[in-house]
Amino acid sequence: MNVAEKSESRTSTHRDTARVTEGVEEKSEQAMKAGGFTTSFVVDHSPQAVFEAINNVRGWWSGEIDGNTDKLGAEFTYRYQGLHRSTQRISEWVPGRRVVWRVSDARLNFVKDKTEWNGTEIVFEITRKGHKTELRFTHVGLAPAFQCYGGCSVAWGFYINDSLRRLIMTGKGDPNPKES
């Protein structure tokens, strides 16, 4: 690749990537350094179909969701009974490639530090793999040192690998399996 092609590639990437910049708190910096929970799967669907399913949050994540979940800069609140409330801001939005939610405010009533999720990021990365598409999910900052790690990682495993995957594959997720 010559210099002009590299420059065009960087410019193109810059145009394709939308990002909302937010202040970073000390706690969130510590959370980001602490690692995170990651899971992934591959499907026989296009990156755009995977992207659209991710942004249909009500179709795969249980609880009450208030606000827009499908545009850059949008904020939405997730509530599940009296156990979990969190506000996510869509801080990155690259159609067919990537979505990032920054958790700006959370209250987990089932752990001692109810703000463990504050400042963490929930990242969906979409990659074409031949004729298939890989979705890699990472809750950056959801570290094993967190009291909620065990329960939260099991829950994310279900919502991503079962409910979201089913939404992509069949058009219908299973966000509330215990309530069905």
- The total of structural domains in the chain comes to 1
Whether residue 35 is contained in a domain is answered as yes
Whether residue 11 is contained in a domain is answered as no
Which band of pLDDT confidence, cut at 50, 70 and 90, is reported for residue 33? Answer: very low
- The angle at the Cα of 63, spanning 134 to 54, to the nearest 5 degrees, equals 20
pLDDT cut 70: percent of the chain above it: 79
CA 5/CA 75 separation, integer angstroms? 37
Question: Mind listing the pLDDT tens digit for each residue in 133-180?
Answer: 999 999 999 989 899 999 999 999 999 999 999 999 999 998 876 554
pTM: 0.80
Nearest residue to 15 (alpha-carbon basis) of 91, 71, 73, 95: 95
CA 176/CA 152 separation, integer angstroms? 16
Q: In angstroms, how far is CA 154 from the centroid of its own chain?
A: 15
pLDDT for res 177: 63
What mean pLDDT comes out for the span 2-10? Answer: 43
What mean pLDDT comes out for the span 99-114? Answer: 93
Q: What is the CATH number of the domain that holds 45?
A: 3.30.530.20
Whether residue 155 is contained in a domain is answered as yes
Residue 16 pLDDT > 50 = no
pLDDT cut 90: percent of the chain above it: 69
Whether residue 166 is contained in a domain is answered as yes
Find the domain containing 162 and state its range: 27-170
Residue 20 pLDDT > 60 = no
Whether residue 81 is contained in a domain is answered as yes
CA 35 → CA 50, 112, 146, distances in Å?
25, 20, 11
Whether residue 4 is contained in a domain is answered as no
Whether residue 87 is contained in a domain is answered as yes
39 within 8 A of 135, measured Cβ to Cβ:
no
**Secondary structure letter of residue 58 according to DSSP:** G
In the block, tokens 């509330």 appear at 176
Question: Mind listing the pLDDT tens digit for each residue in 52-78?
Answer: 999 999 999 988 999 999 999 999 999
pLDDT for res 96: 97
Nearest residue to 66 (alpha-carbon basis) of 92, 93, 85, 91: 85
Q: Who wins on pLDDT, 10 or 128?
A: 128
Nearest residue to 68 (alpha-carbon basis) of 96, 87, 42: 87
CA 51 → CA 29, 94, 104, 136, 154, distances in Å?
27, 9, 22, 12, 23
Whether residue 135 is contained in a domain is answered as yes
